[in-house]
Amino acid sequence: MVSYGNKRSPLAKYRQADASEANYATPHRLVQMLMEGALDKIAIARGALDRKDLQSKHDHIHWAIAIIDGLRSGLDFDRGGEVAANLDSLYGYMRRRLNEANATANPEALDEVTSLLKEIKDAWDAMPEQVRMAKSTAEIEAMAVRQ
């Protein structure tokens, strides 16, 4: 029998590498990691739902909701303006759909949240390096003027 709590297990090494990366990651990369984590948890929940493993489905949806709540709580409304407000609404919608999927075992809700989150992540991943490293809205606006 394989024990995943063992520090020598592949899963433990993965978790350790993930934690190590988070210690040195840029804010942009941290958001990417959160989105990747939420997508992973939703995919696992979808598989659990297909297998009728309701406890695993519940646990992984719960983790995905917690990650999305983390993304939502990290929004900067002062600097993000309308984009932050739109993301806040979208994250709230995703949370409601995940709760619905948890309560009703609705695979379409999981698929919808996956699609929405992938779209946000694709846009986040496509962000130019200069914008990723900018520390303020003023820096981003200055870059736009120079181009």
CATH assignment at residue 108: 1.20.120.340
The C-alpha atoms of residue 58 and residue 64 are separated, in whole angstroms, by 10
The CA distances from residue 32 to 14, 55, 63, in Å, are: 17, 27, 16
For 60-82, the pLDDT digits (tens) are 999 999 999 999 999 988 888 89
The answer to whether residue 13 sits within a structural domain is no
The C-alpha atoms of residue 26 and residue 32 are separated, in whole angstroms, by 10
Q: Is 5 helix (H, G, I), strand (E, B) or coil?
A: coil
The answer to whether residue 111 sits within a structural domain is yes
Name the pTM for this structure: 0.77
How many domains does the structure of the chain reveal? Answer: 1
Residue 54 tokens, joined = 């309701």
Is pLDDT of 21 > 70?
no
Which phi and psi angles does 106 have, rounded to 5°?
-95, 105
